Structure 1
Amino acid sequence: MDALDLSRRPPRSPRQPFAGLDLLMLARTVDKLRATLPGGNLGSYQITGFSSHLLEKLGIAEALLRETIARARTDEEIAAWIREHSDAATYPEINAALERLTVGERLNDPQFVARYPITRRLPPETSRLDMLIADDEESFATR
């Protein structure tokens, strides 16, 4: 796959389906890893956090997925590899755990609020997945 420049556009939404796999954050994680390929630009994004948590829960090493992404021609090829290297029975609990995370749980964390200033303007019960969407929209609104 080609590398991505995430300084020009955000990664896919954390809620966007990925090639038939019902996993929140997966399309976004793949985009962020594509941005780490030669010629890519991660911009202000990072793998640490939601993406690294997802990979940990799937039991997939970041380096192995990055290699798979570099070799793949399509999202479907990546999805097939993930199916082979993870347990689909864990996907519902992974998604549920991601859905449970709220902005309010991190409002007392100055580093989190500095990284995501939009949290100051969102209701505390806002899902952190929805916060990421709002943050992307705000960050790229003037570009």
Structure 2
Amino acid sequence: MSTTLEYKDLTKEAPRSPRERLGGYILLARAIDKGRATLAGKNGEYHFDCPLDNYLFGFKEVKGADVKALLEKGATDEEIVAWFNTNGATKTPEEIAEFGKNVEGYRPYDDPEKRDWFVGEATKSGLDPAKVTLFDWLEVDDKQSYQS
């Protein structure tokens, strides 16, 4: 593992899209970006080990603290994927793909516990909350956050 921490400065640019997959895992690239930026004190408004990250961590039955420890050691994306593949709950490629499909299609508008929050957030971003997914909103919010 590297001893040099390379990170995205999330005060100046967004983390990778939640749709981007590493080793087949949805959300992993974004969580890594947020974790590295947090360690560097450059996470801005982003939070590592948040409820979104915990969709993935819960699916794999791993802890954000364990992922953070890898990041602190300078683990590369590939090393983190390898760790994911050998730790926590064993998942087949089909299970990983199905999880990704389900999470990518999640619509907070359809969730009574999240609806009011999502209506407010999506509407502020100019989106119709009844028609968009969480990922649709996150990507628009990321872009709007870094307009010059």
Q: TM-score range by the shorter chain?
A: 0.7 to 0.9
Aligned-pair distance for 1:104? 2.6
Q: Is the 8 A contact 1:103 1:131 kept in 2?
A: no
Task: Spell out the pairing of 1:1-143 with structure 2 (5 A cutoff).
Answer: 1-18=5-22, 21-37=23-39, 39-47=40-48, 48-86=50-88, 87-89=90-92, 90-105=95-110, 108-110=115-117, 112-113=118-119, 117-118=124-125, 120-122=126-128, 124-142=130-148
Q: Is the 8 A contact 2:34 2:47 kept in 1?
A: yes
Percent identical across equivalent pairs? 28
Aligned-pair distance for 1:135? 0.9
How many aligned residue pairs are there? 137
- 1:41 counterpart SS class: coil
- Give the TM-score taking structure 2 as reference length: 0.79
- Give the TM-score taking structure 1 as reference length: 0.81
Which letter maps to 1:88?
Answer: K
Q: Is the 8 A contact 1:4 1:31 kept in 2?
A: yes
Distance 1:43 1:115 in 2: 18
Aligned-pair distance for 1:5? 2.4
Q: Is the 8 A contact 1:14 1:25 kept in 2?
A: yes
Out of 94-103 and 7-16, give the one that drifted further.
Answer: 94-103
Distance 1:26 1:72 in 2: 16
Aligned-pair distance for 1:68? 0.8
1:4-61 superposed Cα distances (whole Å, 9 cap, x missing partner):
421111100111122xx11111100111111221x33221112322112211111111
Distance 1:73 1:58 in 2: 18
**Structure 1 stretches lacking a partner, 5+ long:** none
Which letter maps to 1:13?
Answer: S
Which letter maps to 2:60?
Answer: L
Aligned-pair distance for 1:73? 4.4
